[in-house]
A = this chain, B = another copy of it.
Amino acid sequence: MDLDAVRTFLLAAEAGQFQEAAAELAVTQQAVSKRIAALERTLGVRLFTRTPRGVELTIDGQAFLPHARELLRAADRAAASVRPGRRPLRVDVINLRGATSGLMRGFHRAHPGIDLDVVKLFDVGTAVAALRSGEIDASFRAVAAPGRPLPDDIASVRVLDEPLHLLTGPAHALAGARSVTLAGLAGHRIWMPGIVPGTEWAAYYDDLVAAFGLTIEATGPNFGSDALLDTVADTPALATFMGDHPRLVRPAGHGLRRIPVTDPTPVYPHALLWHRDNPHPALAALRAHLAATAAGHDAAGTWTPDWVIPR
């Protein structure tokens, strides 16, 4: 299906004749006739009934009309998503299915009129470079890189502290526990195949391991969170960390157990990063929305590395 033909169809349907549509498109009437004929051939139905006074839509043409409009709108939105200047607000998240994308969904619900694009960059360093170059407008990054503070032109604010829970299968030794302490996890195998070395969140888990003598394995290929959950559910010796975002685990799937971690609770500190000079109007709306909805978690009894973005 050719978008030019669809656009021609729309103009012809609105004008009621090919001649006028041809004039608007700056082509000849014959070209419009051929485009419509080609579209009708690919669709396999007649879209117009030809009359000596012009054309009018068939029933199929009437049914096709709103879909044609929507198709062209989609094409416009797609083109606008990469147009420099006045493109949709572009936000980097750490994970397409984690707590931060939940924040983005909430923002979208609150402001349905604001066009959003969500991307996933490699790490905070890439994100900061993209913020400074203007390729993205905001970034949900949990932490700054260890020992490397944010540059002065990048602003940041903590928006969400995400406590980590332990996730085990029903046959795991800790499956029946109401809660577990961080020290009590020493000796247990914790499997997190999604960790990418070199990222700031790998550094987070490195610090966590060093501080409490845990055993976190990041070996093996990452087949996605579904496969991870399946494996954890079926393997008694394996457990994994997972944020407390409610949508992440399918309801009652596979008999998975979610066990809070205490003394202290490891907390993943999400922050919003943006460039101070970024003039995108939707950025202000996003900051305002997050400031209004961010729940002030209590820092007592929690653990984060000491190099994260401060509250």
Contacts and interface: CB of A to CB of B under 8 A. Distances in A.
A120 B6 CA distance: 21
A206 interface: no
A226 interface: no
A70 interface: yes
Contacts of A67: 74, 77-78, 81, 117
B59 A81 contact: no
A78 B135 contact: no
Contact of A59 (B63, B66, B75, B136): B136
Contact of A3 (B1, B60, B136): B1
A230 to B, nearest CB: 22
A82 B70 contact: no
B74 A70 contact: yes
A300 interface: no
A52 interface: no
A285 interface: no
A83 interface: yes
Given A90-B59, A135-B60, A43 B79 contact: yes
Interface string A1-14: 11100100000000
A205 interface: no
A71 interface: yes
Contacts of A135: 59-60
A288 interface: no
Contacts of A83: 44
Contact of A82 (B45, B82, B90): B45
B119 A82 contact: no
A68 interface: yes
Nearest to A62: B119
A64 interface: yes
A300 to B, nearest CB: 39
A249 interface: no
A180 interface: no
A63 B81 contact: yes
A70 B117 CA distance: 13
- Among A74, A84, A118, the one with the most B-chain Cβ atoms within 10 Å of its Cβ is A74
Interface string A24-40: 00000000000000000
Contacts of A47: 82
- Among A47, A66, A88, A130, the one with the most B-chain Cβ atoms within 10 Å of its Cβ is A66
Interface of A: 1-3, 6, 43-45, 47, 59-60, 62-64, 66-68, 70-71, 74-75, 77-79, 81-84, 87-88, 90, 117-121, 130, 135-136
Nearest 4 Cβ contacts at the A-B interface: A67-B78, A63-B117, A62-B119, A74-B74
